[in-house]
Amino acid sequence: MKLRLEGDLADLRPGIEALAPELGIAPADRDGTVVRVAASASSETLEVGMAEGEAYIRYGRKHQFFRGLGLLVQRLREGADEPFVIRERQQFDRIGPMFDLSRNGVLTQDAFERLLNKMALMGLNSVMLYMEDTYAIEGEPYFGYMRGRYTQAELKAIDDYADRFGIEAFPSIQTLAHLEEFLKWEPVSHYRDTKGALLVGDARTDALIARMVAAASAPFRSRRIHIGMDEAEELGRGKYLDRYGYAERFDIMTAHLDKVLAAVRDQGLEPMMWSDMFLKLASDSGSEYYDAETAIPEEMARRVPRDVAMVYWDYTHMDAADYEKQIANHRPLGSRLVFAGAVWIFNTFGVNYGLSLNASDAALQVCKKEGIREAYATMWGDDGNEGNPFAALLGLQLYAEHAYSADKPSRAQVAARAKFCTGIDAEAFLLLKDLDEVPGSEPDNRRQSNPSKFLLYQDALLGLFDKQIEGLGLAAHYARLEERIRQSRTPGAALDEIFEVPQRLCAVLKRKSELGIALKRAYDAKDCDALQHAATVTLPAIAEAVRELRAAHRAQWMRMFKPFGWEVLDIRYGGVANRLESASLRLLDYVEARIDRIEELEQERQVYSSANRFNQRGTGWCSYYYRMASPNVFYHVVNPF
């Protein structure tokens, strides 16, 4: 498709050149469709149309042009030869994703650029880089050591590329808690209060904070920074308590916040922070973030600095009234309020789209109604980061369509735009939810069950989750899902690769999900023929499928992330394969009478936790691999040094 763009294009040309291959467009000097590019009447309005045989894009802000270019090409591809006009008004000043770059998956420059291309077509204009210790600080060699930390040059390159599209990139760091991966090192133990929290009140910590803020912000054009400070329940309860004695957490936190903000102001930055600790400390329990009855005391409100924006995070509620109440609870803090929702790729191989889309629809409509002008879609990588941020693009498309519509966008509208921006059908994206939204789940998987992960990693002989899935027919479910994924794929599409790992995972789980149940049943029935068949045929076949899954996952990882962190998943896959081999040997020892019983299969199965289908909490949730793999001790550390 040839386009003859006319107007002031100097600032737009680098972005146009970056997107041209994806859009299938080429510049034209004489022939081709004329596209007149001009400023719109307002910085918040975008207008795209065709009149008298010529197209036009009128935009208010740089990023809007690239959404407009995508909208125009989409209409032209559809064969639009009649006059048309699309008028949109931007509902949020800033909207975009937060990529978790701290839980093993550190995006490569190339992967970041591919994601930014998609964001540009969607019209998103902000991206937050969540980096606990994955950025370099001069003089702190253990900060991000062997963790794939970004250099200043790498972050600057990401920022430069984002700026091509008018996308504002900025850092999100931690200046209080969530620093376990840095504080684990013995040479930096002087910074540590507890396992994950800094020792506040120490001059060395104050100096570290100043260098963290300077190093994280230096590569970016943006003067904004997220300083974290969430989930710091252990604050002041470790070395701090020994050194200074007991103090109220609120007093400790506000004193530390003042020092962090001093470092931020010294760099000329605009700070934001997670709001949960203030809401928790104000609740009756002192720990409940979503208590609808929480009231911020006047004394607390008075002591919270007004120049730090509060980021209200909420990933699970589906009722607009819940968001309205929580926003009202935040108002007494007096700070600018920012919202953070989620596209659920946390702790799963899939995407919990049932929860993500419904919760985001409710949240974003309330944000627009309540005048909140900034919203983010977090994509956490908890416990090893098996998930894939590219698989979350349908969720980002929903955020983008909300950003340009006063009303809730229809799912058909979101689907059409996602197909254009990503090349993938929405229905194909939605298949990824069925890795976890299995029989026995609550509607839309609103209880966040994650069987795609715990059924892969659970031990065949120990069967920790067998009781919770018994009778649900998950082997048949995953067999059907494998075929549905296979049939939905779009060979040749750039993003078709995101389905390779889910498809391979289904090939494992159709055999392994109910394996423990079958082994226990055969053992109890003393069916040695079934046990021998399992040992010599079934388990080796599953182990081969696991090796194929590992190979696909490794290829996916190396296309997206730096190599650091893959070793964690490599070890997990090796553990699955080795335990399948061990199970085969145990079964053969029994059926060939070398042992008179298999103690693991003698044990009666129990439900894993209270999160199970017997009390309407789905098929279960587990946050940690080591708890999925074994009930025994992986490590026990009182004092690691």
* Mean pLDDT within 207-235: 97
Residue 629: what pLDDT?
Answer: 97
Give the model's confidence band at 637: pLDDT under 50 very low, under 70 low, under 90 confident, else very high.
low
Alpha-carbon distance values, 234 to 228, 245, 292 (Å): 15, 14, 24
Q: State mean pLDDT over 621-630.
A: 96
Query: What is the pLDDT, as a whole number, of residue 343?
Result: 98
Q: What is the SS3 assignment for 136-160?
A: CCCCCCCCCCCCCCECHHHHHHHHH
Q: How many residues in the chain? A: 641
Q: Quick one: DSSP state of residue 467?
A: H
The whole-angstrom separation of Cα 175 and Cα 191 is 12
CA atoms of 392 and 344, how far apart (whole Å)? 8
The rounded distance, in Å, linking the Cα atoms of 379 and 392 is: 8
Span 79-108, pLDDT tens digits: 867 899 999 999 999 999 999 999 999 999
The string of pLDDT tens digits covering residues 34-59 is 999 999 999 999 999 999 889 999 99
Rounded to a whole number of angstroms, the CA Rg of the chain reads 26
pLDDT at position 401 is 98
- Average confidence (pLDDT) over 501-525: 98
pLDDT in tens, 300-327: 999 999 999 999 999 999 999 999 999 9
Q: CA 104, CA 106: separation in Å to the nearest integer? A: 6
Residue 377 sits at φ, ψ, to 5 deg, of: -105, 105
CA 83 to chain centre: 41
**In this structure, are strands 126-130 and 168-172 parallel, antiparallel, or unpaired?**
parallel
3-state SS of 475-532 is HHHHHHHHHHHHHHCCCCCCCHHHHHHHHHHHHHHHHHCCHHHHHHHHHHCCCHHHHH
Tokens 């760091």, residue located = 173
Nearest CA-CA partner of 138 in 186, 208, 225, 203: 208
The average pLDDT across 261-268 equals 98
Alpha-carbon separation of residue 621 from 85, 445, 624 (angstroms):
48, 11, 9
CA–CA dist 84, 93 (Å, integer):
27
Indicate the pLDDT class of residue 133, thresholds 50, 70 and 90.
very high
Contact 469, 514 (CB under 8 A): yes
Burial of 402 (C-beta count, 10 Å sphere; 0-12/13-18/19+): buried
| Strand-pair category, 270-274 with 84-89 | unpaired
Asked whether the beta carbons of 394 and 430 are under 8 A apart, the reply is: yes
**Cβ-based burial of 27 (10 A; exposed 0-12, middle 13-18, buried ≥19):** middle
Q: Which residues contact 415 (CB under 8 A, 6 or more apart)?
A: 425, 426, 427
∠ CA(168), CA(169), CA(172), 5° rounding? Answer: 130
What does the block give as tokens for 368?
A: 């627009």
Q: How far apart are CA 529 and CA 342, in angstroms?
A: 49
Mean predicted confidence (pLDDT) in 565-579: 98
Say if CB 463 and CB 356 are below 8 A apart.
Answer: no
Say which amino acid occupies 535. Answer: A
pLDDT (average), residues 334-359: 97
Q: In which order are the strands placed within the sheet that holds 54-59?
A: 26-27, 2-6, 33-39, 54-59, 45-51, 84-89
pLDDT > 70 fraction of the chain, expressed in percent and rounded: 99
Q: Please tell me the predicted confidence (pLDDT) of residue 638.
A: 57
Question: What pLDDT, on the 0 to 100 scale, is given for residue 636?
Answer: 67
pLDDT reported for residue 247: 94
> Residue 640 pLDDT > 60, yes or no?
no
pLDDT tens by residue, 473-494: 999 999 999 999 999 999 889 9
Dist CA 478 CA 509 (whole Å): 6
- pLDDT attached to residue 639: 58
- What is the separation of C-alpha 582 from the centre of its chain, rounded to a whole number of angstroms? 35
Q: What is the mean pLDDT of the chain?
A: 96
Q: Is 301 exposed, middle or buried (0-12, 13-18, 19+ CB in 10 A)?
A: middle
Residue 29 pLDDT exceeds 80: no
Domains annotated for the chain, with CATH where assigned, are 2-89 (3.30.160.230), 97-407 (3.20.20.80), 436-629 (1.20.120.670)
pLDDT at 224: 98
User: What does the DSSP assignment read for 340-404?
Assistant: EEE---TTSSS--HHHHHHHHHHHHHHHHHHT--EEEEEE--TTT--S-GGGGHHHHHHHHHHHT
Q: What is the pLDDT of residues 167-208, one digit of tens each?
A: 999 999 999 999 999 999 999 999 999 999 999 999 999 999
Beta strand segments in 538-621, E: none
